[in-house]
Structure 1
């Protein structure tokens, strides 16, 4: 699987941003205390961790400590440090950078989780409101189809009425994916090739299935997103089941 562009950029920033900052600080190394220079590098580490992830933040902390030693302490352009105070500052820079970067990445993760949870909840509530107010189950199906594309970051999605044909990979209600009856390791292997079905079942009755096409090489969505997708499909199935009860079987 390919690394997301944001993570790739964060890793690159983790290596290059402390280096660039240390070069900018070179003219100040004789007029500004080494402690203050180290604090400026910590700010860069925090910025990288907040933008990227824990790995990028840790990489930035290591990079900052190395370039602080190389450019800002005597002897210059050497990884050898003569002054004990500079050694202590360098070690503290590394430790503080690692700790703060992890805290920044954790805060960013929690913020993203909160936003994601709110978005998923709105998807479910919006579909529920439509199912209650709409007189056409097809409207609900189309709404769910669009929501599935967004929540699972799909290339495309279509809905099939009628009987089951073939045995494509299947997204189960518990969020797992099965291929030929076996549980597929989605986290390690990514999406299986071809279309993936998500069956719409209501009260044990099969109403149809959503045929989903993932983006090639994309990172699989979280378990939470997959569970939301299953709930959305169940809402479409309930709307179709209500229609079939009131109007008879769909031709």
Structure 2
């Protein structure tokens, strides 16, 4: 399993940033109170936690408490603390650092969820506008295909008009994937091999299907993204459905 680069950087920062900050604060050791020095180290913990890694934030809190003890409490250059007030400050630094780091991580996660949700909504709105404005069916199909590649992280995607040959794995309207009539465990097994079918249906009429090829080794996207993909395919089907009377008249 690959460790994400961002998380690796957060862990490295959690270990090194408090050490470097405590070292940089050495000239202030005799002129600034220990409480204020501890608060400055909490700022470093928050900065590390803002990278979005719980492990990195926790390591930063532990590292900040340890190096505060080592550099800024007597006896210096030792992890032993003599003064009770310094012990309380170090413990509070650790506790506050852990709490603040977790809050910072949670805030970043919520921000990512909000941004991701806004992106999904914009894709659906754009697809709906194309249908309402009477975009050419082929253009709607092509644009939805491009959206599917981005939303699902696909390697390739193509559209088949009105074909139902074979029984490839199928992305259902509830976001699940069926393989030979069975629900495929995406979380445990990842994407099934080969192309995956996503049917485009409007008003109960089948218009075609997208045949999607996931990127090799990629993880399946979350359920929310799979449901967006289903809705996008339905928008393409709606565009084809609107053009059907004109084709029949011709």
The secondary structure found in structure 1 opposite 2:208 is strand
Would the alpha carbon gap of residues 131 and 4 (structure 1) be closer, same or farther in structure 2, given more than 3 Å must change?
Answer: farther
Equivalent residue number for residue 74 of structure 1? 74
1:65 Cα offset (Å): 1.8
Equivalent residue number for residue 144 of structure 1? 144
CA distance in structure 1 between the partners assigned to 2:91 and 2:43 by the alignment: 16
Instruction: Give unpaired runs (5+ residues) of structure 1.
Output: none
Would the alpha carbon gap of residues 4 and 141 (structure 1) be closer, same or farther in structure 2, given more than 3 Å must change?
Answer: farther
1:132 Cα offset (Å): 1.9
1:143 Cα offset (Å): 0.9
Q: Deviations over 1:70-96 (max 9, x none)?
A: 333233343322221121111111111
Equivalent residue number for residue 49 of structure 2? 49
Summarize the alignment of residues 66-215 of structure 1 with structure 2, pairs less than 5 Å apart: 66-215=66-215
CA distance in structure 2 between the partners assigned to 1:22 and 1:78 by the alignment: 14
Equivalent residue number for residue 4 of structure 2? 4
1:245 Cα offset (Å): 4.3
Q: Deviations over 1:46-82 (max 9, x none)?
A: 1122222333322321222222223332333433222
Aligned-pair Cα RMSD in Å: 2.4
CA distance in structure 2 between the partners assigned to 1:162 and 1:219 by the alignment: 29
Q: TM-score, normalised by structure 2?
A: 0.87
The secondary structure found in structure 2 opposite 1:51 is coil
Q: Deviations over 1:10-46 (max 9, x none)?
A: 2332222222222322343343322122111111111
Equivalent residue number for residue 225 of structure 1? 225
Note if contact 1:2-1:218 (Cα within 8 Å) is conserved in structure 2.
no
Aligned length in residues: 249
The secondary structure found in structure 1 opposite 2:75 is coil
Note if contact 2:58-2:98 (Cα within 8 Å) is conserved in structure 1.
yes
Equivalent residue number for residue 33 of structure 2? 33
